[in-house]
Amino acid sequence: MNFQQLRSVRDTARCGFNLTEVAAILHTSQPGVSRQIRELEEELGVEIFARAGNE
């Protein structure tokens, strides 16, 4: 677990789950934000955010 992963989770919740907006705030890419969150979930063994996917 690192601070970047925690920032990604925090800002995702603050931005209403808009990962594009989170990426802009964190000066990174949207796939990078998704990866940070996914890696944290894997490390902790819990799902932090439920994903709807492309419906």
Per-residue H/E/C for the chain: CCHHHHHHHHHHHHCCCCHHHHHHHHCCCHHHHHHHHHHHHHHHCCCCCCCCCCC
9-48 pLDDT, tens per residue? 999 999 999 999 999 999 999 999 999 999 999 999 999 9
pLDDT of residue 52: 81
Q: For residue 55, what pLDDT band results from cuts at 50, 70 and 90?
A: low
Residue spans per domain, the chain: 3-44
pLDDT of residue 19: 95
